Amino acid sequence: MSDPIYAQTWYDENSIKPSKSSNFNEKLNRYDFAVIGGGLAGLVLSLKLSQGGATVAVFESKTIGSGASGRNGGFCSAGWAANPIKIKRLLGEKKAELFEDLGVRGFEWMKKQVSKPTYKKVNVKFGELNLSLAKFNNKDESSLNPHNLKKYLISPRYKSGLINKDSFQFNPLNFMRILMKECLENGVHIFENCSVLKVERSDVINSFELLTKSNQNFIAQKVIYATGGYGGLCTSKLDKVLLPIKTFIAVTDPLPGTLKDHIHTEFMVSDNRRAGNYYRRLDGDRLLWGMGISAFGSKSLSTIKRDAFKDLKSHFPNLAQEMSTSGLSFEYVWSGFMGYSRNFLPYVGELSANKYALAGFGGHGMNTAPISAICLSDFLLGNRNSLNSFNGVRHLPHYGSFGKVAAEIVYKYLSLKDFISEYRPI
């Protein structure tokens, strides 16, 4: 497929066979909950609701894992898209501490999931190397100076780094397919290739009718929008507060005898720039390379491939040279949408009577989406205090194209600050 948003990924050819989704003949006359969006947030929410005794239908416009949840870099760590300083400024010190604790709980939930025997195929590997293009004076045992960094990788740009042994990498598409199977086994009905066109009040008392592109109508008492950056044909208040932001990923040709000479570590690698890179070695001597964001337009596959090679060359010039000499490049390239709010925090809670939001995790959703889904499921099942941490989060409109322009300007500004920081004399 030529559209990078839905282009074939390396995961597509290196993942387990998906479960068969629900058949329309199985649909109930009425569901307790309808979840629009079958990403990580939507599936965790559905699983928890079903385990709590509710009837749940999930509507996914494509297939499970085809969106950001199944085509991301495969990194999982604690924290949120917004940094702790920003969260404290937005929510106050006390509530910020509770919010940060949620991020840790989400990470612990994910770590528990990937440790289950049924999730063995996600191929989890622990350890993250977080790098800096500038020197810093951290002297703890996890910090690395330029000399020590050479034990992990060979690059002229990195000046220092930190090791986090708790963070982990995994195959996100396998995770989504195993989670889908778990949902189905717990009674969740999952309808793939089933976009919701409209949600309107039903003739059935206290219920909504969902009109789908598949010419199937469904009745549900409550509706949750878990659409993320991909939005959908069915509009909601979320469209006014969440911007779809693209990110880009590329995977090299096999590099036997070459890759390990330059990137020795099997840790996942990221850097601390505001608009930095993330990468990791894959099976088969390949390198996954994540880079950049964009609020505008659509890069072609050839442009993403060119940009990825240019970016790789700026960090690992010798590796890039060896690849060029051998006629090797990037075999897979793709992009994906992330849902961003202006404050980088998700929208979790009520949109209007019996309609709820669960979206906007801003590129840091592999831990925050599950814990947000768990909090919302607890709320919907009767624990009215479970969303208290989200109550103070204000979401301002992004003003459409003006918001995209602003997002692009902020990204360029942050990139400039990164450049200045890298070359500022110490």
Return the H-helix or E-strand segment holding 196. strand 196-201
User: How many CA atoms lie less than 13 Å away from 202 in the CB half-sphere?
Assistant: 20
Residue 88 has pLDDT above 80, yes or no: yes
How high is the pLDDT of residue 243?
84
Residue 426 has pLDDT above 50, yes or no: no
What's this model's pTM, rounded to 2 decimal places?
0.94
- Check residues 233 and 15 and name the one with the higher pLDDT: 15
Per-domain boundaries in the chain: 4-122+171-242+341-395
Amino acid letter at 2? Answer: S
Q: Which of 5-19, 80-94, 293-307 has the lowest mean pLDDT?
A: 293-307
Taking the CB of residue 260, how many other CB atoms lie within 10 A of it? 13
Identify the CA nearest to 65 among candidates 43, 39, 37: 39
**The pair of three-digit structure tokens given for residue 200, joined into one six-digit string:** 């309107």
Return the H-helix or E-strand segment holding 25. none
Residue in the block written with tokens 């490049």: 329
The CA-atom distances, in angstroms, between 47 and each of 106, 137, 353 are 15, 45, 23
How high is the pLDDT of residue 335?
94
Maximum C-alpha span of the chain:
70
**Sequence-ordered strand ranges (E) for 284-354:** 286-294, 330-340, 347-352
User: CA angle, 80 as apex, 4 and 370 as ends, to 5°?
Assistant: 75
The CA-atom distances, in angstroms, between 211 and each of 55, 60, 216, 233 are 18, 13, 7, 11
- The architecture in CATH of the region 4-122+171-242+341-395 reads 3-Layer(bba) Sandwich (3.50)
Return the H-helix or E-strand segment holding 306. helix 301-315
CB-neighbour burial class of residue 246 (10 A; exposed 0-12, middle 13-18, buried 19+): buried
Q: Which of 95-99, 266-270, 334-338, 405-409 has the lowest mean pLDDT?
A: 405-409
Q: Which of 116-125, 281-290, 375-384, 406-415 has the lowest mean pLDDT?
A: 406-415
How high is the pLDDT of residue 238?
85
Residue in the block written with tokens 């890759």: 259
Residue 419 has pLDDT above 70, yes or no: no
How high is the pLDDT of residue 415?
61
Distance CA 111, CA 119 (A): 11
Confidence of residue 295 (pLDDT cuts 50, 70, 90): confident
**The pair of three-digit structure tokens given for residue 408, joined into one six-digit string:** 């692009």
Most confident of 238-242, 322-326, 411-415: 322-326
The pLDDT tens digits for 379-407 are 999 999 999 999 889 888 876 665 555 55
CB-neighbour burial class of residue 316 (10 A; exposed 0-12, middle 13-18, buried 19+): buried
State the average pLDDT over residues 182-193.
98
How high is the pLDDT of residue 423?
52
How high is the pLDDT of residue 245?
85
Identify the CA nearest to 385 among candidates 373, 376, 398: 376
- Cβ proximity of 370 and 44 under 8 Å: yes
Distance of CA 58 to the CA centre of its chain: 19
Confidence of residue 139 (pLDDT cuts 50, 70, 90): low
Distance CA 69, CA 222 (A): 24
Strand partners, 162: 130, 143
The pLDDT tens digits for 166-177 are 999 999 999 999
Q: What does the chain come to in residues?
A: 426
- Cβ proximity of 289 and 309 under 8 Å: no
- Check residues 2 and 58 and name the one with the higher pLDDT: 58
Confidence of residue 416 (pLDDT cuts 50, 70, 90): low
Confidence of residue 425 (pLDDT cuts 50, 70, 90): very low
Residue 253 has pLDDT above 80, yes or no: yes
**The pair of three-digit structure tokens given for residue 213, joined into one six-digit string:** 């592109």
